[in-house]
Chains A and B, each alone.
Chain A
Amino acid sequence: MPVISFENVTKVYPLPAGDVVALAGVDLAIEEGEFVLIMGPSGSGKSTLLNIMGSLDVPTSGEVMIAEKRIGGMDDDDLTLLRRDHIGFVFQQFNLIPLLSVVENVEYPLILKGRQNGTRERAEEVLQAVGIEKTHFTHKPGELSGGQQQRVAIARALVNDPAFLLCDEPTGNLDSKTGTAIMTLLDRMNREEGKTVVMVTHDPRMTEYADRTIRLVDGRVEE
Chain B
Amino acid sequence: MTFFDLARRNVVRHWLRSSLAVIGIVIGVIAIASLGIMGNSIGLMFGDMVSDVGDTLIVSPATGVGGGKLTERQVTDITRAVGSNVVIPFSSTGDRISVGDKESAAMIYAIPAGDIPSLLDVESGSYPKETGAGCLIGSQLAANSRDNGLKLGARVRLGDETLRVTGVLKERGMGFDINPDYAIIVPYSWYSSHYDEDDYDQVIVKVRNVDDIDAVKESIEQRMNRREDVVNVMDTRGILESIFEATGSITVFLAGIGAISLLVAGVSILNVMLMSVTERIKEIGVLRSIGTRRSEVMRMFIYEALVLGLAGAVIGGVLSFCAGYLVTAIFVGNADYLFDPTSLLYIVFGMAFGVITSVASGFYPAWKAAHLNPIQALRHE
Interface residues of A (CB under 8 A from B): 51, 54, 56-57, 76-77, 80-81, 83-85, 89, 91, 95, 97-100, 104, 107-109, 111-112, 156, 160
Contact = CB atoms under 8 A, between A and B. Distances in A.
B283 A81 contact: no
Interface of B: 1-2, 6, 9-10, 13, 282-283, 286-296, 374-375, 378
A85 B291 contact: yes
Nearest to B292: A112
Nearest to B287: A97
A83 B1 contact: no
A54 B374 CA distance: 11
Contact of A107 (B1, B288, B296, B378): B1
B291 A54 contact: no
A202 to B, nearest CB: 17
A99 B10 contact: yes
B291 A84 contact: yes
A99 B9 contact: yes
A54 B291 CA distance: 11
B1 A111 contact: yes
Contact of B375 (A57, A76, A91, A98): A57
Given A97-B283, A99-B10, A108-B290, 18 more contacts: A56-B374, A76-B293, A76-B294, A77-B295, A80-B293, A85-B291, A89-B289, A89-B290, A98-B283, A99-B13, A100-B6, A108-B1, A109-B291, A111-B1, A112-B291, A112-B292, A156-B290, A160-B291
6 contacts: A56-B378, A81-B291, A84-B290, A89-B290, A99-B13, A112-B296
A56 B289 contact: yes
Contacts of A81: 291, 293
Contacts of B1: 100, 104, 107-108, 111
A80 B291 contact: yes
A112 B375 CA distance: 20
Nearest to A99: B9
A97 B10 contact: no
Nearest to A168: B378
Contacts of B289: 54, 56, 83, 89
Given A104-B1, A111-B1, A112-B296, A97 B286 contact: yes
Closest 8 CB pairs of A and B: A84-B291, A95-B286, A83-B291, A99-B9, A80-B293, A56-B375, A112-B291, A104-B1
Contacts of B283: 97-98
Nearest to A111: B1
A156 B286 CA distance: 12
B345 to A, nearest CB: 38
Nearest to B374: A56
Contact of B292 (A56, A80, A89, A156): A80
A98 B293 CA distance: 19
Nearest to B285: A95
A107 B289 CA distance: 15
Contacts of A109: 290-291
A52 to B, nearest CB: 10
Given A89-B289, A100-B1, A80 B294 contact: yes
Most chain A CB inside 10 Å of its own CB: which residue of B6, B289, B295? B289
A54 B286 CA distance: 12
Contacts of A91: 286, 378
Nearest to A156: B290
B291 A77 contact: no
Contacts of B291: 80-81, 83-85, 109, 112, 160
A66 to B, nearest CB: 13
A107 B374 CA distance: 21
A80 B283 CA distance: 16
Contacts of B294: 76-77, 80
A100 B9 CA distance: 9
A23 B286 CA distance: 24
Contacts of A80: 288, 291-294
B262 to A, nearest CB: 29
Nearest to A101: B1
A84 B290 CA distance: 6
A76 B371 CA distance: 10
Contacts of A56: 289, 374-375, 378
Nearest to A93: B282
